[in-house]
Amino acid sequence: MTTVTLPGVYSPQDDTGLLVRLLRDEHLPPHAEVLDVGTGTGAVALVAARLGARVTAIDISWRAALNAKVNALLARLPVRGRRGDLLAPVSGRTFDLILSNPPYVPAPAGACPRRGVARAWDAGHDGRLVLDRICQDAPALLRPGGVLLVVQSVLSGPEESLRRLRAASLRADVVERSGVAFGPVLRSRSGWLHDRGLIEDDAEKEELVIIRAVRPG
Ligand SMILES: C[S@@+](CC[C@H](N)C(=O)[O-])C[C@H]1O[C@@H](n2cnc3c(N)ncnc32)[C@H](O)[C@@H]1O
């Protein structure tokens, strides 16, 4: 499949691959409606479309939303790229599957960046600024039996995601774990992460997890 990555758009990485792997294990109903939140190049959205779903792909970045549209056109797949803040563009709609590889990296800055490439990964001191909003808002957009698959790092507290999703009456579990080497972002802030007690002195890897949450049918 020919795909392009526009300058400034998150290039698919280990977390993308992990989400795609778990997506392929899902049993989608016929004519499934799927949402990909924080779509970047649309890499995850395109896989869902190849599995037969009609996909809406949202990103706060104009470039990313355009990138997802371009890749959908190149692949001739039914992916509708929308620019917007998390779930706002689809308020009032419901989905069989919601996918997200959101920003989840703990960052020295207390707020999410308003622009620039770091908007793809930085998510406040605890890495939860975007995750908490997804846990809060996604349950209402799931159809009965619908599934939320979300990636995060253990550095940003998967137990807090589980707690929030269960409080919203979803059945939520960590269904996959994968150790990945620190990339340049984590390496550059390893001192800060260590000072916050998030990593050991000599840490070189983080653990990514996939959380799967189901709205009871
Ligand atoms: C880690 S990247 C993942 C990109 C792609 N899904 C992938 O797996 O390769 C996170 C994406 O979320 C987008 N994003 C950040 N904050 C957002 C928000 N509030 N609403 C929608 N998208 C957001 C970023 O622009 C970025 O494209």
Distance CA 25, CA 42 (A): 19
Residue 172 belongs to a domain: yes
Q: What is the pLDDT of residues 167-194, one digit of tens each?
A: 999 999 999 999 999 999 999 999 999 9
| 111 Cβ contact list (under 8 Å, min separation 6) | 124, 129
Residue 164 belongs to a domain: yes
CB 87 less than 6 A from any atom of ligand 1:
no
Section 63-88 average pLDDT = 97
Q: How far is the CA of 38 from the centre of ligand 1 (A)?
A: 3
Section 50-71 average pLDDT = 98
Name the closest-CA residue to atom 11, ligand 1.
38
Total count of domains within the chain: 1
CATH of the domain at 193: 3.40.50.150
Q: What is the pLDDT of residues 75-84, one digit of tens each?
A: 999 999 999 9
Q: What is the pTM of this model?
A: 0.98
Residue 53 belongs to a domain: yes
In terms of Cα–Cα distance, which of 122, 50, 37 is closest to 82?
37
| 117 Cβ contact list (under 8 Å, min separation 6) | 8, 10
Percent of the chain past pLDDT 70, that is, above it, reads 100
Confidence of residue 163 (pLDDT cuts 50, 70, 90): very high
Q: How far is the CA of 39 from the centre of ligand 1 (A)?
A: 5
Quote the domain boundaries for residue 204. 14-214
Name the closest-CA residue to atom 14, ligand 1.
38
Residue 35 belongs to a domain: yes
Q: How far is the CA of 60 from the centre of ligand 1 (A)?
A: 7
